[in-house]
Amino acid sequence: MSIATLVVLALALLAAVYAIMLYNALVRLKHNVTRAWANIDVLLKQRHDELPKLVETCKQYMQFEQETLTKVMEARSRVHAAQESGDVRSLGAAEGGLRASLGRLFALAEAYPDLKTNQTFQQLQTRISALEDGIADRREFYNESVNLNNVRIEQFPDVLIARWFGFKAAELLEFAAAETADVDVGALFRS
């Protein structure tokens, strides 16, 4: 075997090893996105299970606020439907609606001293607030994973491997602009 043949074989071997490394890195990024989504999914399911308990507790005290309680449950249903369908864009919009409904519910609870002092309500409010914080943290991790994945599948030479093996861009979980704006607490008390 000649030296030229050995050099060509060595270069081909190096190219193959490099392509395998790129492919494995893209697979790892894709699975990071999936794992990050699963983390959000767990918290959404936990919150989904807590909301009916909160509404039932509030019903005992807030006889005249049925519209608010209904809006919370409708928003919960929209989040659940978007979550089940895996539609990230719809989930972001539904999350915004649910957070607004919960904000209004918690603000209205201030007008009911017996409800505010109810231990079950306090525990549920604390639990749901903690889940909201967890969702926000996991959303940040998910969006970072999506961003890394999307950048990587567009960069050269990764784009060649990504196209060859059908790697797809993932969608960011974004909330409506109103969701990220400052809260007008006074508006929460006005209908």
DSSP for 144-155, written as a single string: HHHHHHHHHTTS
Instruction: Out of 90-94, 101-105, 167-171, 186-190, give the one with best mean pLDDT.
Output: 167-171
Q: Return d(Cα 155, Cα 162) in angstroms, integer.
A: 9
Kindly state the percentage of the chain with pLDDT values over 90.
38
Would you say 170 and 87 are in contact if contact means Cβ atoms under 8 Å apart?
no
The pLDDT value recorded for residue 111 is 80
Arithmetic mean of pLDDT over the chain? 85
The pLDDT value recorded for residue 24 is 95
Q: What's the CA dihedral at 127, 128, 133, 135 to 10 degrees?
A: 120
Residue 68: which residues within 8 A CB-CB, separation 6 or more? 62, 101, 104, 105, 108
Answer with the residue of higher pLDDT: 191 or 73: 73
CATH class of 14-189: mainly alpha
Residue 49 pLDDT greater than 80, yes or no: yes
Residue 176 pLDDT greater than 70, yes or no: no
The pLDDT confidence band at residue 181, using thresholds 50, 70 and 90, is very low
The pLDDT confidence band at residue 190, using thresholds 50, 70 and 90, is very low
Residue 60 pLDDT greater than 80, yes or no: no
Give the domain ranges of the chain.
Answer: 14-189
